[in-house]
Amino acid sequence: MNWDSVSAFLHMGGYGLYVWGSFGVTLLLLALETALLSRRARRVADEIRQQTKAARPPLKPRHTGQD
């Protein structure tokens, strides 16, 4: 174990601001990207659901092979 106390852990031997600035911003931005991506995915799914509801029967068969 490297740390005696929580405050020593946060202090990081005087480099606290730099270390937590790096890790904090990185985790924050990655979480933000994930959240934005989920929202976008949900939105497009909702859109398609609505379209499907609006135009129910005419599901024309469409080739699905490689293109």
Residue ranges that bind other proteins, judged by CB under 8 A: 1-3, 9, 12-15, 18-19, 21-23, 25-26, 29-30, 33-34, 37, 40-41, 44-45, 47-49, 51-53, 59-62, 64-67
Looking up tokens 């740390």 gives 3
CA distance 58 to 53: 11
Least distance to other proteins, CB of residue 61, Å: 7
Distance CA 15, CA 13 (A): 6
The nearest distance, CB 7 to other proteins, in angstroms, is 13
